[in-house]
Structure 1
Amino acid sequence: MKGPTTVSALIHAATMVTTGAMTSFLAATTGILQNNLKRVIAYSTCSQLGYMIFDCGISSYLVSIFHLMNHAFFKALLFLSAGPVKPL
Structure 2
Amino acid sequence: MEGPTPVSASIHAATMVTAGIFMIARCSPLFEYPPMALIIITFAGAMTSFLAATTGILQNDLKRVIAYSTFSQLGYMIFAYDISHYSVSVFHLMNHAFFKALLFQSAGSMQ
Amino acid at match of 1:70: N
CA-to-aligned-CA distance 1:12-55 (integer Å, 9 cap, x gap): 11011100000000000000000001100100000000000001
* Percentage of identical aligned residues: 67
Q: Which amino acid aligns with 1:36?
A: D
Which shows bigger deviation, 58-67 or 77-86? 77-86
Structure 1 residues without counterparts, runs of 5 or longer: none
Q: How does 1:16-55 map to 2 (within 5 A)?
A: 16-55=41-80
Equivalent AA in structure 1 for residue 90 of structure 2: I
Length-normalised TM-score, structure 2: 0.69
**Aligned partner letter, 1:71:** H
Which residue of the other structure, out of 95, 105, 111, is the alignment partner of 1:70?
Answer: 95
Q: Would you identify which runs of 4 or more consecutive aligned residues in structure 1 move more than 6 Å? A: none
SS of alignment partner, residue 83 of structure 1 = helix
Segments of 5+ residues of structure 2 without an aligned counterpart are 1-28
Q: Distance in 1 between matches of 2:65 and 2:109?
A: 15
CA-atom RMSD in angstroms: 1.8
1:38 partner letter: K
